[in-house]
Amino acid sequence: MAKRNTPSEPLARTHPLMRNSNAPMNRTLFLEPEDWERYAQLPTVDTLRAHGPVDNTIYVGDALEGLRLLPDASVDLVFADPPYFGLKKDFGYGTRKNPWKTLEDYMTWADAWIREARRVLLPHGAIYLCCGWESSGAMQTLLSHHFIVKNRLTWRREKGRGAARNWKNNMEDIWYAVVDEEAYLFHLNDVKIKKEIIAPYTNAEGQPKDWVETDEGERFRMTCPPNIWIDLTVPFWSMPENTPHPTQKPEKLVERCLLASSNPGGVVVDPFMGSGTTAAVAARLGRRFLGFEVYDDYVRLTLKRLER
Ligand SMILES: C[S@@+](CC[C@H](N)C(=O)[O-])C[C@H]1O[C@@H](n2cnc3c(N)ncnc32)[C@H](O)[C@@H]1O
């Protein structure tokens, strides 16, 4: 078990996950001093090694080490949002820098954990792998060594600074790949998108052709979801799901992946749990989850988020 004392007063005032730090105000979910006592004892990868996996647990520790401890073919879905190559975000408040000097180093590391993700997945399983443009091309090639790559989802993310001598980065990719072409799940009806009808075609009897009209006169069709996602925002400070985590994914994005590619009761693994978005969505949708996160304070934040 990872132990941590209640932070001393000076640490408490400056801790980046606390409301009274320099972080912008109004974010909804912060750690409070008592949270270090409430969540003093956290399961670690050593706990996993000793007792085996327990549903709905996030283990403090390294993703690769943790994945290696999960049994073969025991997981329905992997949602992975690793630290991005090239991103200057510091998840550990200066205590730990991303260790990869080159894209090659990064891909060697990614190959090791993706191989493990493939091993733990069931035949009907799938992986969603988030990445930025810097590694996206290489990630597709790497994934294709272990999985059947089915699609590239591009999320238009309305945030970030412009660049003086480059195009502003407004996107992230999420590669979608499956274990077995014949066996993989895809619950299309659970992820169809509501689309307003512009040309209201009717059949010979004057009935709507593949669209519906409500009593209020709203005309729409449920259509297949596209692979460009322009309808999701980052979790802004005013949204209840917001936390101080620097690269938190929107719940809606994770929700879409889980709805399409897992059954209720299935096991979803997130090797890089961060603020716990995958855990929160899995719990809400009746899926089981397992995850890893190197920073114990993000696990505390996740436990608090799950309680809420
Ligand atoms: C991009 S963030 C994930 C954000 C998450 N999807 C969310 O919505 O909050 C990546 C996370 O992986 C963690 N991390 C970095 N290296 C790790 C490793 N080797 N094993 C486990 N977690 C790691 C970081 O601390 C960070 O919280």
Structure tokens at 191: 């992820």
Distance 92 CA to ligand 1 centre (A): 10
> Is pLDDT of 10 > 50?
no
Note whether residue 93 is domain-resident.
yes
Which pLDDT band holds residue 66 (cuts at 50, 70, 90)? Answer: very high
Confirm or reject: Cβ of 241 under 6 Å from ligand 1: no
Confirm or reject: Cβ of 247 under 6 Å from ligand 1: yes
Check residues 22 and 302 and name the one with the higher pLDDT: 302
| Count of domains observed in the chain | 1
Distance 207 CA to ligand 1 centre (A): 51
Confirm or reject: Cβ of 302 under 6 Å from ligand 1: no
Which pLDDT band holds residue 22 (cuts at 50, 70, 90)? Answer: low
> Which of 65, 256, 273, 278 has most ligand 1 atoms within 8 Å of its beta carbon, as the pocket-test mutant?
273
Note whether residue 143 is domain-resident.
yes
Give the mean pLDDT of 124-147: 97
How many residues are there in the chain? Answer: 308
Distance 84 CA to ligand 1 centre (A): 9
> Which of 91, 100, 239, 255 has most ligand 1 atoms within 8 Å of its beta carbon, as the pocket-test mutant?
91
Distance 61 CA to ligand 1 centre (A): 10
Confirm or reject: Cβ of 305 under 6 Å from ligand 1: no
What is the residue range of 294's domain?
9-187+226-307
Note whether residue 203 is domain-resident.
no
Note whether residue 60 is domain-resident.
yes
Q: What is the rounded distance in angstroms from the CA atom of residue 143 to the CA atom of residue 258?
A: 19
> Is pLDDT of 14 > 80?
no
> Which of 293, 296, 303 has most ligand 1 atoms within 8 Å of its beta carbon, as the pocket-test mutant?
293
CATH of the domain at 47: 3.40.50.150
Q: pLDDT (tens digit, 9 = 90+) per residue, 147-179?
A: 999 999 999 998 777 889 999 999 999 999 999
Which pLDDT band holds residue 74 (cuts at 50, 70, 90)? Answer: very high
List the residue whose alpha carbon is closest to atom 3 of ligand 1.
Answer: 274
Note whether residue 262 is domain-resident.
yes
Note whether residue 217 is domain-resident.
no
Confirm or reject: Cβ of 293 under 6 Å from ligand 1: yes
Confirm or reject: Cβ of 295 under 6 Å from ligand 1: yes
Phi, psi of 112 (to 5 degrees): -65, -45
List the residue whose alpha carbon is closest to atom 13 of ligand 1.
Answer: 272
Confirm or reject: Cβ of 23 under 6 Å from ligand 1: no
Confirm or reject: Cβ of 106 under 6 Å from ligand 1: no
Note whether residue 152 is domain-resident.
yes
Q: pLDDT (tens digit, 9 = 90+) per residue, 206-239?
A: 888 888 988 888 899 999 999 999 999 888 877 8
C-beta neighbour count of 55 within 10 angstroms: 10
